[in-house]
Chain A
Amino acid sequence: MDKRVNRLENLCAKGVGTLKKLILVVLSVLLMAAAPAAGVQVVNIYNWADYLPEDVIRDFERETGIRVVYNVFSNNEELHARLRAGASGYDLIFPSDYMVEVLIEEGLLQPIPREAIPNIAHIDQRFLSLPADPENKYAVPYLWGTTGIGVNTRYVTEEVDSWDVLWDPKYRGRIAMLNDAREVFAVALKRLGYSLNSRDLAELQAARDLLIQQKPLVLTYDSDNTKNLLVSEEVWLAHGYSGDVLMAAEENPNIVYVVPKEGGSMWMDMMAIPRTARNVEGALKLIDFLLRPDISARLSEAIWYPSPNRTSWELTSPEIMEDPSIHPPAEVLDKLEWLEDLGDLAPVVDRLWTEVKAD
């Protein structure tokens, strides 16, 4: 007993010594990690993971000598909450259009001087002057997409062209909706023939009632796992983002993407510079780089999202350009709306959404 206790004591003493050494090592590693290498310019980007291909980053680094540090967030709301709470150090962020509107309103972005980004001339008219930032003063288009229905044609043999199918009791328990108040309300509003940016309380309440009606048919409300749900065939009809459904279609050829005839929402991921950015010059260089048609084409090819860059379309493979799920024809595009921020009506919609969920 005595020898064991002695050994324990020695172990503890040695342990404390090692601990002190460990702390010193950890601190020095942390300090080294925190301090950037002397002389190398760094640009910190804040983006979705896998949304900017490695090879494009390497090319930028090689051309400009600026190092890119890739930081990630998992949704727009979290991005906003961080910036609003005071997070700083990010030079270039990639918010979606509806979030850009909020960020501008809250004064969290700084204006982008047009002269610094000449390549913006390549962007197609349709994708400029979004309601979020009509003069493109604060944000520049990156990639865009639509929201529609992912259909598993093996189980849903009828032709799907309307949001109505998501209310069809035949598919009870095989329907998934996005877990996003605005997107889900957009579906109900469009089905009722209203604008998805409606501010009319009666229309919103009608939409809520329609959604409560639908709820028993819905298996799950999920914005992040649409692909999994479709591919595993757990769900046959999924309200989802174009990119997600297309990724599922790649894995399961039974799956197709449909934009309903009533129309739906369009969304645009954009590039913006936070007010607290440290390397504005580097951020501007990166924005202009990403606006180059050849680079834009590469983005589209790698991620399978349509690019708003008109000149890049000639450089993009026909496989992507001719796929109506990726590049919808003009007639379809005309029926789609950008989601606008509802401002002071936001808490109302949130409350209605809570009512749908809490039922």
Chain B
Amino acid sequence: MRHRGLRWAAGLYVALIFLFLYLPIVVLVVFSFNKSRLNAVWTGFTFDWYRQLWTDFAIWRATGNSLIVGVASAVISTAIGTMAAFALHRYSFRGKAAFESFLQLPIVIPEIVMGVSLLAFYALIDMPLGIQTVTIAHVAFNISFVAVIVRARLYAFDFTLEEAAMDLGANRRQTFFRVTLPLIAPGVAAGFLIALTLSLDDFIIAFFTAGPGATTLPMQVYSMMRFGVTPKVNALSTLILAVVIVIGVVGQFLLRARAQKEAGGRAA
């Protein structure tokens, strides 16, 4: 009896937080249909911005760049960060505390400091600027974020499970894929999501490290501030949101279908 009440309250709370998270998003989406070119006051309904978006090559290129940088840096930093988290969790070695402190620095460092110093470094070693230099920069700060999240997950990880598996005859690879990975997956997934989010939203570091032709979406939008961040940007964000949510929902259905098939199969 008490349990049902608790679950009810939990559901309500989750809904409230989602309301909080999505309130500005709803406003943002509504304003994508706003007549006014400024994101300030509602003056009327129009599809114009979506129409204009269709032919705005620059903004699509920037979106593409952001996606490439985002996914690439998230994948690479998740891999490196997870490995680092593992090493730091399991082993103790000389200089570990120093490295742990060093690993915190990318989280501390003010973005402009990282941007400027990395650009200066690129100039020093004569590295040509482009989309690759932004990706490198994003990986550099994302590694720490991923490592922190995965470590938090590993903290409660029961390593005897690994040893038990090996005892039962599994080799290292089997143990990793069948025991370790599934158990730390939520941590790795959370780390990946944070890395992707940080990369997609980063302006300052991308601004400093990008080369000509490698403008990312935040860079493009920020530069629009002088003449107005038009609802074109809202329209773009709405479309991206719609696509991602659709992918998520479709993924959910596929998962549910598979689960049902499994359940049906087992019952039969």
A residues engaging B (CB < 8 A)?
A: 4-5, 8-9, 12, 19, 26, 29-30, 33-34, 44, 46, 48-51, 69-74, 78, 81-82, 85-90, 224-225, 227-229, 231-232, 243-244, 247-248, 251-252, 303
Contacts and interface: CB of A to CB of B under 8 A. Distances in A.
A247 B208 CA distance: 29
B129 A74 contact: no
Nearest to B265: A3
Interface stretch (B97-105, B174-182, B193-201, B241-249): B174-182
Interface in B15-72: 36-41, 43, 58, 68, 72
A9 B182 CA distance: 10
Contacts, number: 123
Nearest to A305: B227
A263 to B, nearest CB: 24
A19 to B, nearest CB: 7
Nearest to B226: A48
Contacts of A82: 119, 207-208
B131 A30 contact: yes
Given A26-B72, A74-B222, A44 B212 contact: yes
A228 B219 CA distance: 20
Contacts of B40: 227-229, 231-232
A94 to B, nearest CB: 11
A44 B223 CA distance: 16
Given A33-B131, A74-B223, A85 B212 contact: no
Given A72-B219, A86-B119, A90-B212, 8 more contacts: A8-B182, A49-B223, A50-B228, A71-B215, A88-B129, A228-B40, A231-B40, A303-B227
Contacts of A50: 224, 226-228
Interface string B123-140: 110001111100000000
Contacts of B58: 70
B75 interface: yes
Interface residues of B, number: 45
B120 interface: yes
Contacts of A86: 119-120, 122-124
A48 B227 contact: yes
Contacts of A5: 177-178, 182
A74 B226 CA distance: 7
Given A73-B207, A231-B41, A26 B68 contact: yes
B6 interface: no
Contacts of A46: 212
A74 B215 CA distance: 12
Contacts of A8: 177-178, 181-182
B106 interface: no
Interface in B159-183: 174, 177-178, 181-182
Contact of A85 (B68, B181, B208): B208
Contacts of B223: 48-49, 72-74
A81 B212 contact: no
A209 B96 CA distance: 52
Contacts of B174: 9
A227 B228 contact: yes
Contacts of A19: 75
Contacts of A81: 112, 116, 208
Residue of B38, B120, B130 with most partner-chain A CB within 10 A: B38
Contacts of A89: 128-129, 211-212
B229 to A, nearest CB: 9
B123 A85 contact: yes
B224 A49 contact: yes
Nearest to B132: A30
B113 to A, nearest CB: 11
A176 to B, nearest CB: 13
Given A34-B131, A49-B220, A231-B38, A74 B225 contact: yes
Interface in B214-268: 214-215, 219-220, 222-228, 262
B213 interface: yes
A228 B123 contact: no
Contact of B177 (A9, A34, A243): A9
